[in-house]
Amino acid sequence: MLDRDELSKLRFSMSEVPKVGGQPGIYQEKWTQWFLERSFYRDFVYRNPRGVKKGEELADAVVLFDDMLIMAQVKAQHGKHEATAWATEKLLEALKQISKTHSNLVGGHIKSLSNEYFGSLPFDPKHCPNRIGLIILAHESAPYDATKLVPEILSAGFPIHVFSLKDFELIASRFDTAGDFITFLELRADIAKSETFFVQDEDGNIKRMLPHVGGVLRTHMSPTADEIFQKTVESFEQIATGKLLESEDWKYGLVIDDMIARVHDIDPDLPWNKVGKGFNKSIYVARFLGWLTRDRRIRLGKRIISKCEAARDGQPHYFAHTQPSRGSTCVYLTTSEGRPSRIKTLRFLVAYAYLKYGTKECVGVATEPIGNGRSYDFFAPQSPPTELQLEKLKSIEDPFGSTDDPL
């Protein structure tokens, strides 16, 4: 595992680790925002976005990732208040604020949100039908059920999770990809209907979740072979319990993390990076790869590195990874060809992947054999090949052969 400072340097423009002893209240907000960046990167985290009125804050943090809208409100205890009374007061206050945030965003009162890297970006609530609230309480207390103190949380109209700051740190370290973090929150919301969760005991909450995971996943997953389904359940358990963090293979997942970080190095002046108006290639690719869970990143990382080693023979080496549940395919290419040539190869492989796998989205990543330095080129077509192009591809021998992705 990397420590926090190493992680902040690895991940693109990740905010600095908050300095100990910062201004009370602001300090805890910064930690919450930093923890969100661990899973979503800075690309999708909006810190203290502006509200409807001048000088008004919309929320302490907002995350916009694909079709997900996450709204976070942070409260920090100062002084010697009785823990239960303080928690009740601040839960009511945070619930009111998150409800107002939700109303302003969903009601169309907010037309844009400002991101520290991309600047002002348009916001359309129709693109975010899935909404989640987070209330983070930075205080010390015995474990308690937040919904017993403030039952109104259950009638907000969208799931609201309450965590202590300490427990939120635990979640951020274990569920450190967007795919893992969102899956965890969705499972937790479903399981909360039949299980009691306690603030200040998220490790215990996760243990209480595990017996329910298989049943909940069955209701949401398309028909799946028992072996694959069982692997999915076991994979969640490895991540949720923190066992995956202890794996020596954890470092292989950094290959995908590095790709997400480096997608921001795209040179818009290169001809293969020209895109249509309104299409942000960096955001698109970062979102596409962001759905990959940590265990999948580890397995993909191993395979990508093996291709980088094999490509020292001067030949192109590649494979396609398909996720039918997401309707996506990614082609990973390693070649010693010059960049214009490798883009040409990548375009062909992506087009053929559309034909072979029939998924709605297909992205390509090209890099070079293991050696000095590391560069990436990304191909993200804004639309699939035409029927005429697909017909022409049918006359070409399958470049992927029978080496279907085993992940």
pLDDT at 136: 98
- Of 293, 275, 296, 295, the closest CA to residue 284 belongs to 275
CA 333, 387, 322: angle at the middle one, nearest 5? 35
pLDDT above 90: residue 375: no
Please give the residue that has the higher pLDDT: either 282 or 74: 74
The tokens for 303 are 């395979």
Rounded Cα distance between 322 and 326, Å, is 9
First-to-last C-alpha distance (Å) of the chain: 23
Beta-strand runs (E) in 66-183: 68-76, 112-115, 119-122, 130-138, 160-164
234-235-237 Cα angle (round to 5): 65
pLDDT for 131 equals 97
User: What is the pLDDT, as a whole number, of residue 161?
Assistant: 98
Cβ proximity of 296 and 407 under 8 Å: yes
For residue 336, is pLDDT > 50? yes
- Contact (CB, 8 A) for 69 and 50: no
pLDDT band at 87 (very low <50, low <70, confident <90, very high): very high
Mean pLDDT of all residues belonging to the chain: 90
CA distance 292 to 323: 9
Please, are residues 307 and 315 in contact by the beta-carbon 8 Å criterion? no
Give the pLDDT confidence score for residue 4 in this predicted structure: 57
Name the residue with higher pLDDT: 17 or 133.
133
Residues of the chain with pLDDT > 70: what percent? 95
pLDDT of residue 6: 60
Query: CB–CB of 55/119 below 8 Å?
Result: no
Q: Which residues, including other chains, have CB under 8 Å from residue 311's CB and lie 6 or more apart?
A: 317, 334, 335, 336, 368, 369, 370
Cα(183)–Cα(273) distance, integer angstroms: 32
Residue 235 is inside which H or E element, if any? helix 226-240
Of the two residues 372 and 232, the one the predictor is more confident about is 232
Residue 1 is predicted with a pLDDT of 47
User: Coil, helix or strand for 234?
Assistant: helix
Q: Is the pLDDT of residue 287 over 90?
A: yes
pTM of the full predicted structure? 0.92
**pLDDT score of 407:** 60
**Rounded percentage of the chain residues whose pLDDT exceeds 90:** 71
Q: DSSP class of residue 16?
A: P
- The DSSP H or E segment spanning 46 is strand 45-47
Q: What is the pLDDT of residue 404?
A: 55
Decide if 209 contacts 191 (C-beta within 8 A). yes
Q: How far apart are CA 97 and CA 292, in angstroms?
A: 32
Report whether pLDDT(127) > 70: yes
Taking CB atoms within 8 Å and a gap of at least 24, the contacts of 207-216 are: 207/241, 209/240, 210/237, 210/240, 210/241, 212/187, 213/187, 213/237, 216/187, 216/190, 216/191
341 HSE (CA, 13 A, CB side): 8
pLDDT at 13: 55
- Phi and psi at 274, nearest 5°, equal -70, 130
Alpha-carbon span 86 to 386, nearest angstrom: 61
Least confident stretch, 69-78, 195-204, 260-269: 260-269
The rounded distance, in Å, linking the Cα atoms of 401 and 319 is 10
Residue 106 — left, alpha, or beta (φ > 0 → left; ψ -120 to 50 → alpha)?
alpha
pLDDT for 192 beyond 60: yes
pLDDT at 403: 58
DSSP 8-class letter at 270:
S
